[in-house]
Structure 1
Amino acid sequence: MRKLIVTLGLTVAVTACSREAGYQIDAGTFGNATLNNAQIHNGQLSYAQILGERFANEVPNQINFAFDSAQLDATAQQILIQQADWIRQFPEVRFRVYGHTDAVGSTGYNKSLGLRRAQAVVAFFASQGISRSRLEAVVSFGETRPLIATSDRERRNRRTVTEVSGFVDRHRTVLDGKYAEVIYREYVQSARTRTDIRTERRATATEQQ
């Protein structure tokens, strides 16, 4: 009986030590890497689509504006700082900013106002050290795509939305089958960290012998 308990204890210990790298940050999607690579290469899925979903899930992707204004208030700036921090992690990725307005005012004026709002966001990103070459375009939908269907003033309709639009041409990690390196680089880094720790432990053990 004692021998069985010891054996079970060793089995548990080995299992705990051999957990897959990145298990602490796995939200249930890392095991899909092979499937995702296959879907990417056969055209069913794209890097940009995956990253776009991740961006929208991890940071707020839109900000709002005061009536007839393209000025970024303090709340908007804090959200854009979060977006900029995320964008800097992915130098291979391009982004597009879409400007929107509510329905008050003429169609032409609102299209111009939506563009000014998108341009304000791009200028803010540039002030945060993000190259304008990665901000592929700014687009204004004006009043044509409201979140709330109303002809009155509506702050929720006065917004910009930042989205992943594609990849910087000829970037070394793009279209090279490196799904994890591009999409889940912190997962890859966790594996490198674990390897470094093992190497350090071996070196220490050798010195002590």
Structure 2
Amino acid sequence: MRLQKLARLVVILVLSVLPVSVLAEVFGTVNFNFDSDQLDAEGQRQVDEIAERLKATDSYKPTVVVGYTDAVGSTGYNQSLGQRRANTVARALVAAGVSVDQIGDISSRGKTDLLIAVTTAERRNRRVTVGLGDILAACRSYRDVPLSETAAGDELQSDLTARLQVAVAQHDQLTNSGRNGPAFQMAGAAREDCGKAVGLDAGSIRKVEYAKRCFCSSARLEAALAQ
């Protein structure tokens, strides 16, 4: 029991010191007029500020653009409006000098995620957020992980090391508890994949491949632990 508590504490400590870049990071918000998907003067200024931040950021993570609406109107209409707003901001970012290859997911949440919980036409709810995506999305194959060959660097190494620490702690905890289910198997896989990724030099041709394997097995471990 004491060992199990210690293992849980290790996991909590590791997660608490993960670098900010491991998590989805919001760079800025662009607001819109009522029932509009066009940028006004304030919206263009917000886009320009976000574009400068993105161009100054050296990260392998894709840029995620998400559109939202206020609560006025039907769910279907607002879903479409949020998508149009997200598309507008994505195009404006590229026009402002952000590489088109840097833009990842462009999606809409419509009116399902209000920033201000009101049913009226609230400008703060009519927004598009722009940030860096979390690489740990659901993973079917490591080959699907969006990690380019130029990703190897200090940020990637830091992320890989953090995931290795979590995998080792989870594997030890599950070993001590005697649980030999999917989570235990995924912890072992993540420990092996992340260990190999961390150990490879940044110039190794297999660094990115094992980094992808690490991210994928970490995602599967996270999913198994949630069951």
TM-score w.r.t. length of structure 2: 0.52
Q: Give the counterpart of 1:74 among 23, 37, 41.
A: 41
Contact 2:19–2:159 under 8 Å retained in 1: no
Q: Give the counterpart of 2:21 among 38, 48, 56.
A: 48
Q: Write the distance in 1 (CA, Å) between the matches of 2:159 and 2:129.
A: 28
Q: Write the distance in 2 (CA, Å) between the matches of 1:169 and 1:177.
A: 17
Name 1:118's counterpart in structure 2. Answer: 86
Name 1:87's counterpart in structure 2. Answer: 54
TM-score w.r.t. length of structure 1: 0.56
Q: Write the distance in 2 (CA, Å) between the matches of 1:51 and 1:145.
A: 17
Q: Write the distance in 2 (CA, Å) between the matches of 1:76 and 1:49.
A: 28
Unaligned 5+ residue runs, structure 1? 1-37, 180-209
Q: Write out the 4+ residue segments of structure 1 that deviate beyond 6 Å after TM superposition.
A: none
> Aligned pair in 2 of structure 1 residues 151, 50: CA closer, same or farther (>3 Å)?
closer
Q: Write the distance in 2 (CA, Å) between the matches of 1:46 and 1:139.
A: 26
Contact 1:62–1:162 under 8 Å retained in 2: yes
> Aligned pair in 2 of structure 1 residues 169, 47: CA closer, same or farther (>3 Å)?
farther
Name 1:175's counterpart in structure 2. Answer: 156
Q: Write the distance in 1 (CA, Å) between the matches of 2:24 and 2:65.
A: 16
Matches within 5 A, 1:4-15: none
Larger Rg belongs to: 1
Q: Write the distance in 1 (CA, Å) between the matches of 2:131 and 2:87.
A: 14
> Aligned AA for 1:105?
G
Deviation at 1:154, TM superposition (A): 1.1
SS at match of 2:156: coil
Unaligned 5+ residue runs, structure 2? 1-12, 136-146, 161-227
Q: Alignment RMSD, CA only?
A: 2.7
